[in-house]
Amino acid sequence: MQYNADMKNILIVIIIALFITLPCNAKVDVKFTPSDECETSIINYINKAKNNIDIAVYSINNDKIVSALKKAHNRGVNLRILTDKLQAAAKSSKVIELYKYGINIRVNSKHKIEHNKFAIYDKKIASSGSYNWTNPASNKNSENCLFIIRNNRAVNAYIKRFEYLWRINTKQKSDQWFKKKT
């Protein structure tokens, strides 16, 4: 009987130690612009993704990021992009190009502006910050991006928010918008 009680106590100590050390394994990687740091990191995570990438972003016109998204689509990564419809209609936007390429894109129809700038890579890593996925964000603007690694609670918060935004901004309304624009 004593042996089982001792083993139980040891197991409890191990479990507590795991819970205490788990947050220590979490990592946040912060980048700033103007520089290619955000762009390069985003492209690296797109290139490493094996299953899915969910993106909520205000504006997309960065040629290198767009190229990486197309390559991910070609290798079978499930992409979902939610973006702002006013920005999507801008002359420099690559949203219609990505839509015509066959990437699953929805435009915001529920909020005044879809101003988020986050992505979730394989439901394991999230990126966020002020960084729009644009050429000026890399080359001219003062922006930031951060990458949340090995922090399930934070990544799950982004997953939950994306799923909510995806659900309320319907495919039907997005397809109507794209039909008018193409």
pLDDT digits (tens, 9 = 90+) for 70-98: 999 999 999 999 999 999 999 999 999 99
> CB of 134 within 8 A of CB of 60?
yes
Q: How confident is the model at residue 149 (pLDDT cuts 50, 70, 90)?
A: very high
> CB of 137 within 8 A of CB of 65?
no
Beta-carbon contacts of 171 under 8 Å, excluding residues fewer than 6 positions away, are 106
Q: Which residue among 115, 123, 173, 181 is the active-site one?
A: 115
DSSP codes, 39-70? HHHHHHHHHH-SSEEEEEES-B--HHHHHHHH
Instruction: Read off the CATH number of the domain in which 109 is found.
Output: 3.30.870.10
Residue 20 lies in a domain: no
Query: Does the annotation count 111 as an active-site position?
Result: no
**What tokens appear for 137 in the block?**
């964000």
150: left (phi over 0), alpha (psi -120 to 50) or beta: left
- Residue 177 has a pLDDT of 96
Residue 163 lies in a domain: yes
Q: Which residue among 31, 70, 85, 117 is the active-site one?
A: 117
Residue 22 lies in a domain: no
For residue 53, what are the domain limits? 28-181
Query: Does the annotation count 48 as an active-site position?
Result: no
Q: Which residue among 122, 123, 175, 181 is the active-site one?
A: 122
Query: Does the annotation count 117 as an active-site position?
Result: yes
Bigger pLDDT: 139 vs 17: 139
Bigger pLDDT: 15 vs 121: 121
Give the residue-averaged pLDDT of 22-38.
85
**What tokens appear for 54 in the block?**
């969910």
> CB of 32 within 8 A of CB of 147?
no
Residue 148 lies in a domain: yes
pTM of the predicted model as reported, rounded to 2 decimal places: 0.86
Domain count, the chain: 1
3: left (phi over 0), alpha (psi -120 to 50) or beta: alpha
Report the distance separating Cα 147 and Cα 59, nearest Å: 19
